[in-house]
Amino acid sequence: MLVAIIFANAARGIRNASTTSSLAVMTIAVVLVLIGSALLLVGNMTGILDEFGNELQLTAYLEDEVAKGEKDGAAELLALAARVEAAPGVESVEIVTKTQALERFEKIAGGAELLEGLDENPLPASLEITLLPEARNAESIEILELALDGLPGIADLASGQEWIEGYERMVSLLRGAALGIGAVLGMAALLIVANTIRLAVYARRDELDILALVGASRTFVRVPFMLEGTLQGLLGGLVALLVVYGAYEMVLPQVRFGLEMLVGRADLRFFTMGESIGLVLAGAGLGLLGSLTALVGWRG
């Protein structure tokens, strides 16, 4: 019975204070639109960077002796490839023979002309090493390089170390910025929401005092406010989700076009179902926390 009365009081609170209630809902929505947009932006940017990471490869150029004659050297080449594949951080190894290297080079504009007049294929055979996702960083690549250094038959390693370091810096910068922005926005959100709900509590201090006077427990007085805050937060979260989705759909064509021009790819995505629910629940959490903060200091 008490629970029913508490719920009824929460519903009454929202009904009676519709102006302050909608103000709280809108405040939470605005704050979550900012946080949601920032998260979506950062998520998509790291997504694009991850795509680049997937293409990260090491190339081990082989000594001509290993691959000489190709048919004769095949067993030796396969053995070497197997040893490389067993090295730390390696996901897969693809063998590129001298002939394949030549074919590739010829496909490049002007490649065929450059090779004219040469008797022998000057291009080395190579192993193209794809890295495990967790090994796509400078440190792992250095360890791999050390491991491969001693292997007989490898003439040279091309790792694109500088590129990797740049990529790593970019990713960590982006993640740091996302964390920083998230923390600042989160704090701002909490303060704004707490203040808005505090105003709502202040507007109803007579009711709080009278409830305390007739012997209402702290729970009886507080829970309706907490329910109200949570419900307002849920609504705010939903509104924010819709707004961010609308904005995403609106700017998607332009951004996709721009990205394709700039980086040649545009695999953009909206929040997953889980992330969307997370955003709405974050609103509920903000509302609840806001109402708790607003009730601090009320003695009853």
Partner 1 sequence: MKRRTMNVAGEPPVRMYHVSKSYMAGQYALHDVSLEIRRGEFVFLTGSSGAGKTTLLELIFAAEEPSEGQILVLGRNVARLGASGIPALRRRVGVVFQDFKLLEDRTVEENVRLALDVIGTPRREARTRVFQMLKSVGLQHRRFHHPKSLSGGEQQRVALARALVNEPEILLADEPTGNLDPALTLEIMDLIVSASTRGTTVIVATHDHNLIDRYGKRMLRLEGGRIAEDIPAAGAASALRGANP
Q: Using CB under 8 A, which of the segments 1-9, 94-102, 164-172, 264-272 binds partner 1?
A: 1-9
Does 75 engage in binding with partner 1 (CB under 8 A)?
Answer: no
> Within positions 155 to 214, which residues make up the interface with partner 1, using CB under 8 A?
206-207, 209-214
Smallest distance from the beta carbon of 16 to partner 1, in angstroms? 5
Token match 């019975």: residue?
1
Residues 217-236: x/- map of binding to partner 1 (CB under 8 A)? xx-x----------------
Smallest distance from the beta carbon of 209 to partner 1, in angstroms? 8
Nearer to partner 1, 69 or 215 (CB): 215
Report the alpha-carbon angle 39-40-43, nearest 5. 80
3-class secondary-structure state, position 95: strand
Nearer to partner 1, 208 or 289 (CB): 208
CB neighbour burial string for 27-43, b if at least 16 within 10 angstroms, e if fewer: bbbbbbbbbbbbbbbbb
Residues 16-35: x/- map of binding to partner 1 (CB under 8 A)? x-------------------
Smallest distance from the beta carbon of 217 to partner 1, in angstroms? 5
Distance CA 233, CA 116 (A): 72
Distance CA 218, CA 212 (A): 8
Residue 2 tokens, joined: 């008490």
CB-based contact 270:245 (threshold 8 Å): yes
What's at 137, amino acid-wise? N
- Residues binding partner 1: number (CB under 8 A): 19
Does 45 engage in binding with partner 1 (CB under 8 A)?
Answer: no
Does 11 engage in binding with partner 1 (CB under 8 A)?
Answer: no
Instruction: Give the pairing type, strands 90-96 and 154-158.
Output: unpaired
Q: Among 26, 115, 138, 216, which residue sits at the site for partner 1 (rule: CB under 8 A)? A: 216
Smallest distance from the beta carbon of 9 to partner 1, in angstroms? 8
CB-based contact 33:189 (threshold 8 Å): no
Phi-psi region of 215 (alpha: psi -120 to 50; beta: other; left: phi over 0): left
Q: Which DSSP state fits 86? A: T
Smallest distance from the beta carbon of 27 to partner 1, in angstroms? 24
Does 277 engage in binding with partner 1 (CB under 8 A)?
Answer: no
Strands of the sheet containing 57-62, edge to edge, are: 90-96, 126-131, 57-62, 154-158
CB-based contact 145:60 (threshold 8 Å): no
Nearer to partner 1, 15 or 71 (CB): 15
Which residues form the interface with partner 1 (CB under 8 A)? Answer: 1-2, 4-5, 16, 206-207, 209-218, 220, 300
